[in-house]
Amino acid sequence: MRLKAGERLKGLRELAGFTRQEFSNITNIELTRLTNLEKLKARVAEDEYEKLGLLFPDIIQWLAFEGDISLEALRVSENKLCRLLAARFEAGQIPEGYYFEEVIKQ
């Protein structure tokens, strides 16, 4: 694995186009905690993975263990946040440094 969980969390937030404050509000992860996770000063806890999995069900495999991301699954997801991610992928709004291009599967 190239990225630690906190780095993938930051990549997910940046891909979605949210500020830390916005992402904190959406995920119900306290802002200070989110900052510490992203800066690798803390580890993502099981309950946080659960929250994130409920909010981003079609990308949790990547977030949890750098698994592949199915662009088609994101496109057709019932989850609006996953459809947002698909739209950002398709628009080329992909943050650099997170190896998304290697894990996105059509």
Over residues 30-78, the pLDDT tens digits come to 999 999 999 999 999 999 999 999 999 999 999 999 999 999 999 999 9
In this prediction the pTM is 0.94
CATH of 5-105, one of 1.10.260, 3.30.70, 1.10.3470, 1.10.10: 1.10.260
Cα Rg for the chain, rounded, in angstroms? 13
Contacts of residue 75, Cβ cutoff 8 Å, sequence gap at least 6: 83, 86
Task: Return the domain boundaries, the chain.
Answer: 5-105
pLDDT at 90: 96
- By the 8 A CB rule, do 29 and 51 touch? yes
